[in-house]
Amino acid sequence: MLNIEKIRKDFPILQCTMHGKPLIYLDSSNTSQKPNGVIDAITHYYKNYNANIHRSIYELSAKATHLYEKTRTNIKEFINAKSTQEIIFTKGTTEAINLVASSLSFSEGDEIIVSTMEHHSNLVPWQKLGVKLRIIPISDKGELDLGAYQNLFNSHTKMVAITHASNVLGTINPIKEITKIAHQHQVAVLVDGAQAFPHLPVDVEDLDCDFYAFSSHKAYGPTGVGVLYGKKDLLEKMSPYQGGGNMIERVSLTDFTCNQLPYKFEAGTPNIADVIAFDAAINYIKSIGFENIMRHEQNLLHYATEKLNNIDGLRIIGNASKKLGVISFVMKEIHPHDIGTILDHEGIAVRAGHHCAMPLMERFKVPAMVRVSFGIYNTEKEIDHLSLALKTAERIFA
């Protein structure tokens, strides 16, 4: 059994009060809180190793480079990639998807298959290309219609870009099956792993996806860092994303040749401190173990679902059979923003709005939803407080 009280002590922010009440943080899908090890790693780097990487021969720079590359190796092993050349550091999931959109060559008439439950980050980069998007519909429970998916392929299909887990519905999509079908049509698959990566084990070899994008800040790591995993043969064929230092092998006044992978896609001075601290976040997750994380978050999901279902006028949106610890809901007569404000005054942080998934709001015919999302530090007691606050809101508005 996990000792959650001990885990909570690793997260200094959880000792804070908001509006005079203890903070109840239920917005980990937005960004997770950070344990001491991650916060300390940032300070430690600036106090002891601050130097630019890959450029200088002095010891300080060599140390910084070593720590930066250590994170890459850790991530390669964590997601079971074949080589560190397949791990590209980006600003986050959004930049990782934009990198693929701008570096793979697309032409007029190409089609990309996406789903109704995509975050804007997995829609807009493709829309900007002017290609046609073909949409996988979802059921009222919030599950993909895989039958419809199979019928979307044709000779113009260039890519499937799909989320591993919905940030609104919590639905965990069957990526292995989706990839298998796409590959039968010789179509590459990009997986938006922003939500799944912190909560379940990701094995890119087993999934067999061609690209997998994720962010550090949702996985107990710092903001401003993310990863694009890509199969080496595909990355080799892609053009560089940005031009500048580090991504080149040789430059003349008229042309350049590219550096080898992964540096070809890492132009300029990267976010060194935060990449190094991401290593501490990965190690933190490893120290708890996904088996424990998933058991705890699934318990919270079931406990909270039961509690919320007992509140008059509250409707949960997204009831997939495989869900992350995410619950979105609406309440009769109360706007989600009002619920967010009422909860805030009780010290409870939730997200209210369109959750960067406007097409999904349209699908469920609501302008906005309230979302609670769990991390390893949440407790049933916090859910009791949430439930009580929602019941009070319901009484006030009734």
Catalytic residue set = 356
- Structure tokens that stand for 121 in this block: 């980050």
| Residue 355 binds to ligand C6P (criterion: CB under 6 A) | yes
Angle between the N-to-C axes of helices 336-345 and 380-397, in degrees from 0 to 180, rounded to the nearest 10: 120
DSSP 120: G
User: Which range, of 57-65, 92-100, 258-266, 384-392, touches ligand C6P by CB under 6 A?
Assistant: 92-100
3-state secondary structure of 352: strand
| Residue 171 binds to ligand C6P (criterion: CB under 6 A) | no
| Residue 323 binds to ligand C6P (criterion: CB under 6 A) | no
DSSP 154: -
Q: How far apart are CA 363 and CA 381, in angstroms?
A: 33
Q: How far apart are CA 270 and CA 92, in angstroms?
A: 12
Question: What is the residue-wise DSSP string for 76-89?
Answer: HHHTT-S-GGGEEE
Pairing of strands 248-251, 326-331: unpaired
| Short-list 59, 51, 82, CA closest to 206 | 82
Interface with ligand C6P (CB under 6 A), residue from 32, 33, 93, 387 = 93
| Residue 94 binds to ligand C6P (criterion: CB under 6 A) | yes
Interface with ligand C6P (CB under 6 A), residue from 35, 92, 221, 336 = 92
User: Using an 8 Å Cβ cutoff, are 178 and 160 in contact?
Assistant: yes
Interface with ligand C6P (CB under 6 A), residue from 32, 74, 163, 271 = 163
Q: Taking the complex as a whole, how short is the minimal distance between the CB of residue 167 and ligand C6P, in angstroms?
A: 3
Question: What is the residue-wise DSSP string for 290-318?
Answer: HHHHHHHHHHHHHHHHHHHHTSTTEEEE-
Q: Within 133-162, which residues bind ligand C6P (CB under 6 A)?
A: none
| Residue 192 binds to ligand C6P (criterion: CB under 6 A) | yes
Question: Which is closer to ligand C6P, CB of 64 or CB of 161?
Answer: 161
Q: Roughly how many angstroms between the first and final C-alpha of the chain, as a whole number?
A: 41
Q: Taking the complex as a whole, how short is the minimal distance between the CB of residue 271 and ligand C6P, in angstroms?
A: 13
| Residue 33 binds to ligand C6P (criterion: CB under 6 A) | no
| Residue 264 binds to ligand C6P (criterion: CB under 6 A) | no
Q: How far apart are CA 246 and CA 68, in angstroms?
A: 14
Interface with ligand C6P (CB under 6 A), residue from 29, 33, 103, 378 = 29
| Residue 259 binds to ligand C6P (criterion: CB under 6 A) | no
Q: Taking the complex as a whole, how short is the minimal distance between the CB of residue 163 and ligand C6P, in angstroms?
A: 5
| Residue 215 binds to ligand C6P (criterion: CB under 6 A) | yes
Residues at the interface with ligand C6P (CB under 6 A) = 29-30, 92-94, 119, 121-122, 163, 167, 192, 194-195, 215, 351, 355-356
